[in-house]
């Protein structure tokens, strides 16, 4: 019957497409359940300076699925964004990050350092985003100066005026802002100058081949020079080899994140790694 109705109708019954739709629906139910069952975990990846000293960490969410094991954000963040589940998920990450900051401040840690939290566009544009962040900070007692948000270019540019207003409100309390995956979007210099940012994070896509691809090397050098002239700090993401590390240092990069130094780990492990040796 589908065949008789013509090509377009026939495509509607494409078994592959239908399988994809029902898989998506199942994943959504599963993620909703996982959120309620507290199956999310807060992982952290260290950010270090050129001597390997810890400067801070990035919070990276994981889903500890009862059957599938540890699921990476690439597999559920896009769905969470489409379904709106990113709102409770983002709230959970924010509260977990604040709790972690408080725990670190109470432990034997001597050096103060920051924790960066990734934010999705839907979460950032919530009318009460600023209120929710300030509420989480106050409820936990976390120091706003230790909290930093990572926003992407495309998020910031969806509504520049609104982005600036929200950032300014949180900056008044000491919260910092990084532009994530820098270089992959379309920021013009004029926007970059207007946005109240503290930091650029060089996308790992440029770091990966910087020793073999002259274009990537040029882009990385340009980002570092640009950041210097705008007085922004820079974190290079995805640093995996001593050669990449050496190149980045030689061109003035001062903060590094990547497997060469440490992989993302449960937040509690980072704390143990930091405690002075007995
Ligand atoms: P991102 O914010 O750009 O995070 C960096 C990603 O690079 C992480 O992937 C990290 O594990 C990975 N990475 C770090 N060092 C290296 C390296 O040396 N080599 C390679 N190949 N990869 C490295 P992950 O944890 O899978 O997260 C993927 C993305 O998911 C993140 O990209 C971020 O956009 C998103 N994400 C993670 N956690 C959250 C969250 O709590 N909220 C939101 N909205 N998004 C999140
Ligand atoms: Mg990030
Ligand atoms: Mg990134
Ligand atoms: Mg990325």
pLDDT of residue 31: 95
| Pure H helices in the chain | 7-12, 15-36, 77-83, 86-106, 121-124, 129-140, 153-157, 160-171, 189-194, 204-208, 214-230, 242-250, 267-274
Confidence of residue 275 (pLDDT cuts 50, 70, 90): low
Q: Provide mean pLDDT across the span 128-136.
A: 98
pLDDT of residue 269: 87
pLDDT at 3 over 50: no
| C-alpha 14 to ligand 2 mean position (Å) | 37
| C-alpha 41 to ligand 2 mean position (Å) | 16
Q: Provide mean pLDDT across the span 115-138.
A: 97
Angstrom distances, CA of residue 163 to CA of 42, 75, 91, 152, 180: 26, 27, 19, 11, 15
pLDDT of residue 22: 84
Q: Provide mean pLDDT across the span 23-45.
A: 93
Contacts by 131-137 with C-beta closer than 8 Å and gap 24+?
132/91, 132/94, 133/94, 133/170, 133/175, 134/170, 134/173, 136/91, 136/94, 136/95, 136/98, 137/98, 137/173, 137/175
What is the helix (H) or strand (E) element at residue 46, kind and residue range? strand 40-48
Whether the CB-CB separation of 46 and 270 falls below 8 Å is answered with yes
258 lines ligand 1 (CB under 6 A): yes
Residue closest via CA to ligand 1's atom 41 equals: 61
Residue closest via CA to ligand 1's atom 46 equals: 118
Q: Give the least confident one: 14-18, 37-41, 92-96.
A: 14-18
**Model pTM?**
0.92
pLDDT at 4 over 70: no
Q: Provide mean pLDDT across the span 147-160.
A: 94
Q: Provide mean pLDDT across the span 143-167.
A: 96
Q: What is the pLDDT of residues 162-210, one digit of tens each?
A: 999 999 999 999 999 999 999 887 777 788 889 999 999 999 999 999 9
Residue 226's nearest CA partner among 197, 258, 256, 266 is 197
60 lines ligand 1 (CB under 6 A): yes
Residue closest via CA to ligand 1's atom 19 equals: 238
- Minimum-distance ligand to the CA of 178? 2
**ipTM of the complex in this document:** 0.97
* φ and ψ at residue 234, rounded to 5 degrees: -130, 135
240 lines ligand 1 (CB under 6 A): yes
Q: What is the pLDDT of residues 252-272, one digit of tens each?
A: 999 999 999 999 999 988 877
pLDDT at 79 over 70: yes
pLDDT at 156 over 60: yes
pLDDT at 58 over 90: yes
**Residue owning tokens 């929200």:** 166
Compute the distance between CA of residue 274 and CA of residue 67 in angstroms, rounded to an integer. Answer: 32
């Amino acid at each position: 019957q589908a065949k008789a109705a013509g090509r377009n109708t026939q495509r509607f019954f494409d078994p592959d497409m239908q399988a994809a739709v029902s898989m998506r629906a199942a994943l959504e139910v599963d993620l909703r359940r996982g959120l309620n069952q507290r199956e999310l975990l807060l992982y952290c990846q260290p950010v270090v300076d050129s001597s390997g000293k810890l400067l801070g960490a990035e919070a990276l969410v994981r889903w500890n699925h009862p059957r599938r094991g540890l699921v990476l954000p690439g597999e559920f963040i896009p769905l969470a964004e489409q379904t709106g589940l990113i709102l409770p998920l983002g709230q959970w990450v924010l509260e977990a990050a604040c709790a972690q900051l408080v725990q670190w401040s109470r432990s034997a840690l001597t050096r103060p350092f920051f924790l960066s939290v990734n934010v999705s566009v839907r979460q950032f544009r919530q009318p009460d985003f600023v209120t929710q962040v300030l509420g989480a900070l106050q409820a936990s007692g976390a120091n706003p100066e230790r909290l930093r948000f990572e926003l992407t270019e495309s998020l910031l540019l969806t509504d520049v005026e609104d982005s600036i207003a929200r950032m300014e409100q949180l900056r008044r309390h000491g919260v910092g802002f990084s532009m994530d995956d820098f270089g992959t979007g379309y920021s013009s210099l004029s926007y970059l100058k207007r946005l109240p940012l503290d930091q650029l994070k060089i996308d790992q896509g440029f770091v990966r081949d910087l020793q073999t691809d002259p274009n990537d090397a040029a882009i990385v050098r340009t980002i570092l020079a640009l950041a210097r002239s705008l007085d922004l700090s820079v974190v290079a993401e995805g640093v995996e080899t001593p050669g990449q590390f050496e190149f980045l240092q030689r061109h003035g990069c001062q903060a590094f994140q990547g497997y060469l130094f440490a992989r993302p780990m449960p937040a509690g492990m980072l704390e143990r790694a930091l405690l002075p040796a007995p």
